[in-house]
């Protein structure tokens, strides 16, 4: 497996190669890279890939002081799996 085929965002199945190619082609900030590739927009909300997406974007377009790094938003409140599946007791 080459480095370009390595999956960075498991939720949206975005590879390292896709991220680098998109960041280079569009000279993306981290936020724009996230919006163009959907990396960090899956079930985990970017908890696993946020730092890598941010660092790939910073290699292409260094961040200035006014830009913030990507953030993740946890669920509003926890929910039981039984509630999600509609299982009645």
pLDDT tens track for 6-16: 999 999 999 99
Residue 85, pLDDT score: 72
Judge whether residue 32 has pLDDT over 80.
yes
Extract the tokens encoding 59: 């290699």
At 88, is the pLDDT very low, low, confident or very high (cuts 50, 70, 90)? low
pTM comes to 0.73
Distances (CA, A) of 53 to 34, 78, 80: 7, 26, 30
Element (H, E) at 41: none
Task: Give yes or no for residue 75 having a pLDDT over 90.
Answer: no
**Tens of pLDDT along 45-63?**
888 899 899 999 988 888 7
């Amino acid at each position: 497996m080459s480095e370009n085929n390595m999956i960075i965002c498991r939720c949206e199945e975005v590879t390292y190669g896709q991220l680098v190619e998109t960041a280079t082609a569009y000279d993306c900030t981290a936020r724009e890279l996230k919006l163009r590739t959907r990396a960090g927009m899956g079930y985990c909300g970017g908890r696993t890939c946020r730092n890598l997406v941010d660092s790939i974007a910073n290699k292409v377009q260094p961040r200035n002081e006014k830009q913030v790094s990507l953030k993740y938003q946890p669920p509003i409140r926890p929910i039981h799996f039984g509630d999600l599946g509609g299982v009645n007791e």
